Amino acid sequence: MRRREHRSGVMSGVRSELESIGSWLLWVAIFSAFISILYLAGTLYMLQVYDRVLTSRSLPTLLALSAIAFAAYLFQGIIDAVRARMLARIGARFEQMLSLRAYAMTVELPVRGSPDQQDVAPIRDLDQVRSFLAGLGPAALFDLPFAPLFIIVAFLLHPWLGWFALLGAVLVVAVAACTEMQSRAPARAFSAISLERQALLDATRRNAEVICALGMRQAFAGRYREINDRLAGQALRRSDVVSATGALAKTLRLVLQSGAIGLGAYLAITGAISGGAIIAASILTARALAPIEAAIQHWKGFIAARQALGRLDRDLAAHPTGEREFALPAPEARLEVENLVVTPPRASLPVLKGVSLQLSAGDALGIIGPTGSGKSTLARALVGVWPAAMGKLRLDGADLAQWGDELGRHVGYLPQDIELFEGTVAQNIARFRNFTGSAAIIAAARAAAAHDLILGLPQGYQTQIGPSGVLLSGGQRQRIALARALFGDPFLIVLDEPNGNLDREGDEALSQAIASVRSRGGVVVIITHRPSGLASVNLVALLDGGRITMLGARDEIIRALTRPASPPAPAGHVRPTFA
292, 367: one domain: no
| Mean pLDDT, all residues of the chain | 80
Q: Say which residues have a Cβ less than 8 Å from residue 339's Cβ, sequence separation at least 6.
A: 354, 355, 356, 390, 391, 392
- Residue 534 domain-assigned (yes or no): yes
Is the per-residue pLDDT at 187 higher than 70?
Answer: yes
Q: How confident is the model at residue 455 (pLDDT cuts 50, 70, 90)?
A: very high
CA atoms within 13 A on the CB side of 215: 0
Q: How confident is the model at residue 579 (pLDDT cuts 50, 70, 90)?
A: very low
Of the residues 264, 287, 318, which one is the last residue of a structural domain? 318
Of the residues 290, 318, 346, which one is the last residue of a structural domain? 318
431, 480: one domain: yes
- For the chain, what is the domain count? 2
Instruction: Identify the pLDDT of residue 276.
Output: 75
How do strand 523-527 and strand 364-368 relate by DSSP bridges? parallel
Counts of helices then strands in the chain (DSSP H, E): 20, 14
- Residue 553 domain-assigned (yes or no): yes
Cα dihedral value 175, 177, 181, 183, nearest 10: 60
Instruction: Identify the pLDDT of residue 365.
Output: 92
Is the per-residue pLDDT at 530 higher than 80?
Answer: no
CATH at residue 304: 1.20.1560.10
Count CB-CB contacts under 10 A for residue 370.
15
401, 502: one domain: yes
CA distance 409 to 490: 6
DSSP 338-355: EEEEE--TT-SS-SEEEE
Query: Is-above-0.75 flag for pTM?
Result: no
- Residue 374 domain-assigned (yes or no): yes
Q: Which of 213, 232, 209, 229 is nearest to 221 (CA)?
A: 229
168, 301: one domain: yes
Phi, psi of 243 (to 5 degrees): -65, -40
Cα angle 189-194-200, degrees, rounded to a multiple of 5: 130
- Residue 572 domain-assigned (yes or no): no
Is the per-residue pLDDT at 309 higher than 50?
Answer: yes
The H-or-E segment that residue 257 falls in is: helix 217-269
Q: How confident is the model at residue 117 (pLDDT cuts 50, 70, 90)?
A: very low
Query: pLDDT per residue over 360-377, tens digit each?
Result: 999 999 999 888 888 888
Share of the chain above pLDDT 90, in %: 7
- Residue 195 domain-assigned (yes or no): yes
356, 483: one domain: yes
Q: Average pLDDT, stretch 509-515?
A: 86
The residue range of the domain holding 413 is 334-562
Instruction: Identify the pLDDT of residue 4.
Output: 40
Q: Which of 504, 505, 526 is nearest to 515 (CA)?
A: 526
511, 541: one domain: yes
CATH at residue 362: 3.40.50.300
Query: pLDDT per residue over 234-250, tens digit each?
Result: 888 877 777 777 777 77
Query: pLDDT per residue over 99-109, tens digit each?
Result: 777 777 777 76
- Residue 9 domain-assigned (yes or no): no
- Residue 184 domain-assigned (yes or no): yes
342, 294: one domain: no
295, 347: one domain: no
92, 215: one domain: yes
Count CB-CB contacts under 10 A for residue 519.
9
CA distance 197 to 232: 11
CA distance 142 to 29: 6
203, 272: one domain: yes
Is the per-residue pLDDT at 525 higher than 90?
Answer: yes
268, 339: one domain: no
CA distance 4 to 489: 35
- Residue 467 domain-assigned (yes or no): yes
233, 346: one domain: no
Q: Average pLDDT, stretch 302-310?
A: 81
Share of the chain above pLDDT 70, in %: 89
